Amino acid sequence: MSFSGEVARTLIVDDSAAYREIIRDSLKTFFPSMVIHEASEGNEAIQEVDLFRPQLILMDIRLPDTNGLHLSERIKTSHPDTKVIIMTSYDSVEYREAATRYGANGYLAKDSCKPEQLEKLILDCHIGVDPSHP
Residue 130 within any structural domain of the chain: no
Residues 123, 1 contacting (CB under 8 angstroms): yes
Could you tell me which residue, 57 or 93, shows the higher pLDDT? 57
Q: What is the 3-state secondary structure (H, E, C) of the chain?
A: CCCCCCCCEEEEECCCHHHHHHHHHHHHHHCCCCEEEEECCHHHHHHHHHHHCCCEEEEECECCCCEHHHHHHHHHHHCCCCEEEEEECCCCHHHHHHHHHCCCCEEEECCCCCHHHHHHHHHHCCCCCCCCCC
Give pLDDT, residue 2.
29
* Domain of residue 42, CATH code: 3.40.50.2300
Cα separations in angstroms, 1 against 39, 53, 101? 30, 24, 27
* 1 located within any domain: no
pTM of the model: 0.87
Name the helix (H) or strand (E) containing 31: none
For residue 5, the model assigns a pLDDT of 47
Q: How confident is the model at residue 50 (pLDDT cuts 50, 70, 90)?
A: very high
What pLDDT digit, counting tens, does each position of 83-104 carry? 999 998 887 888 889 999 999 9
Mean confidence (pLDDT) of the chain: 86
Query: pLDDT band at residue 117, thresholds of 50, 70 and 90?
Result: confident
Range of the domain at 73: 9-124
- Report yes or no on 58 lying in a domain: yes
Determine, yes or no, domain membership for 39: yes
Greater pLDDT, 106 or 5: 106
Total count of domains within the chain? 1
